């Protein structure tokens, strides 16, 4: 039965579940954005609120019972305020807490300790006051600088859109040659020598699509497709090219062709702006 239909071979294991990249404008998104999406949404983030165990099985010290090891990530909630700061991979955890042994457990939210701090980007040559956590400051110190922390950390561990947008901005600045440090050539060359190695992981197209949300990517793709569809017909482009060649040759008929071309363009614009309903409308004689 599978060979009775052309798609039978694909239906042997069931229908494929549709995703964001299989329908509409999402199917037109380039591979550069899909690479960022896999890094942001599909890649497994580093363990922050639990300590993962190595191996497949573990033995209890007292009972000697052997049980399988299950490193199940703790579900985390990213409130809107998390995208206005850099929390270093931390988020809000929802669970239950038993505060009294004689009472039932109650819902509880664990929120990271936030503080206001100033970070410095050497590539952007800016000081920024952002909301951070102790883990963020520790990660910045471990990576020897704010720029190294953003460039080395994948998007799934950054989590906040502010950090991802800053990483995109730093990559664009490095690709352009650090124009903000043009007034200090020695410092500019030092920063390029230190941070240019991170550009090897990305192509110019990947940097252009990096850090965009799904809606922002759809909006950009829509603008690109509209620009392609808005091109003039080839016959008009060829006529313009011919008129330019005639004008260079000094032929008098170029002026007549120029007027005919403007009239044709005007007719195309009028036909595009007019609706087909207006052609069917009519008015009585005594209107």
pLDDT category at 226 given cuts 50, 70, 90 is confident
Tell me the average pLDDT across 259-264: 56
pLDDT of residue 276: 47
- Distance (Å, whole) CA 33 – CA 45: 19
DSSP at 81: G
The CA distances from residue 213 to 7, 31, 218, in Å, are 33, 15, 9
| 3-class DSSP state of 185 | helix
> What is each CA distance from 145 to 107, 135, 159, 164, in whole angstroms?
39, 14, 19, 16
CB-CB neighbours of 246 under 10 Å: 17
Alpha-carbon gap, residue 2 to 106, rounded angstroms: 54
Which pair of structure tokens corresponds to residue 196?
């240019």
Q: Give the span between the Cα atoms of 197 and 217, in whole angstroms.
A: 27
* Cβ(228)–Cβ(32) below 8 Å: no
Nearest-angstrom CA–CA distance, 222 and 64 = 61
Pairing of strands 57-59, 66-68: antiparallel
What's the mean pLDDT in 230-239? 77
Percent of the chain with pLDDT over 70: 79
Q: Can you give the pLDDT at residue 268?
A: 53
Coil, strand or helix at 167: helix
pLDDT at 262 over 60: no
SS3 165: helix
pLDDT, greater one: 62 or 285: 62
| pLDDT of res. 102 | 93
Between 276 and 133, the higher pLDDT residue: 133
CA-based angle 30:36:10, to the nearest 5?
Answer: 60
Per-residue pLDDT for 191 more than 50? yes
Q: Which residues, 6 or more positions from 37, have their beta carbon under 8 angstroms from its beta carbon?
A: 21, 214
Tokens describing residue 240:
């313009």
pLDDT-above-90 percentage for the chain: 59
Q: Is the pLDDT of residue 12 over 70?
A: no
Mean pLDDT across the chain:
84
CA–CA dist 20, 218 (Å, integer)? 10
Query: Is the confidence at residue 211, as pLDDT, over 70?
Result: yes
Which pLDDT band holds residue 283 (cuts at 50, 70, 90)?
Answer: low
Q: How confident is the model at residue 258 (pLDDT cuts 50, 70, 90)?
A: low
3-state class (DSSP) for residue 117 = strand
Instruction: Please give the Cα distance from 231 to 74 (Å, whole number).
Output: 51
pLDDT at site 275: 52
pLDDT for residue 121: 94
In 3-state terms, what secondary structure has residue 281? coil
The whole-angstrom separation of Cα 8 and Cα 1 is: 8
* Region of residue 184 (left: phi > 0; alpha: psi -120 to 50; beta: else): beta
Q: Alpha-carbon distance 143 to 158, whole Å?
A: 14
Exposure letters 189-217 (e unless 16+ CB within 10 A, then b): eebeeebeebeeebeeebbbbbbbeeeeb
pLDDT digits (tens, 9 = 90+) for 88-131: 999 999 999 999 989 999 999 999 999 999 999 999 999 999 99
Domain spans, the chain: 34-48+70-227
Whether 123 contacts 116, CB under 8 Å: no
């Amino acid at each position: 039965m599978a060979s009775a239909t052309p798609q039978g071979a694909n239906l042997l294991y069931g229908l494929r579940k549709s995703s964001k990249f299989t329908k509409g404008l999402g199917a037109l998104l380039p591979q550069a954005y899909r690479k960022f999406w896999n890094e942001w949404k599909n890649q497994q983030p580093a363990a922050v609120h639990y300590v993962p165990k190595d191996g497949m099985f573990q033995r209890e010290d007292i009972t000697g019972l052997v049980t399988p090891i299950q490193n199940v990530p703790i579900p985390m909630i990213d409130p809107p305020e998390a995208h206005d700061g850099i929390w270093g991979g931390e988020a809000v955890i929802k669970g239950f807490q038993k505060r009294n042994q004689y009472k039932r457990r109650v819902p509880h939210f664990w929120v990271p300790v936030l503080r206001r701090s100033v970070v410095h980007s050497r590539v952007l040559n800016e000081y920024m006051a952002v909301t951070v956590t102790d883990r963020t400051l520790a990660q910045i110190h471990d990576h020897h600088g704010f720029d190294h922390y953003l460039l080395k950390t994948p998007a799934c561990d950054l989590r906040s859109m502010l950090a991802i947008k800053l990483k995109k901005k730093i990559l664009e600045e490095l690709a352009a040659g650090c124009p903000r440090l043009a007034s200090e050539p020695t410092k500019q060359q030092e920063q390029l020598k230190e941070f240019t190695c991170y550009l090897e992981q990305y192509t110019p197209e990947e940097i252009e699509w990096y850090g965009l949300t799904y809606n922002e990517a759809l909006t950009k793709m829509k603008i690109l497709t509209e620009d392609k569809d808005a091109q003039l017909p080839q016959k008009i482009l060829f006529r313009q090219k011919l008129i330019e060649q005639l004008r260079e040759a000094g032929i008098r008929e170029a002026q007549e062709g120029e007027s005919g071309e403007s009239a044709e363009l005007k007719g195309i614009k009028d036909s595009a702006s007019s609706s087909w309903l207006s052609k069917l409308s009519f008015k009585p004689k005594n209107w």
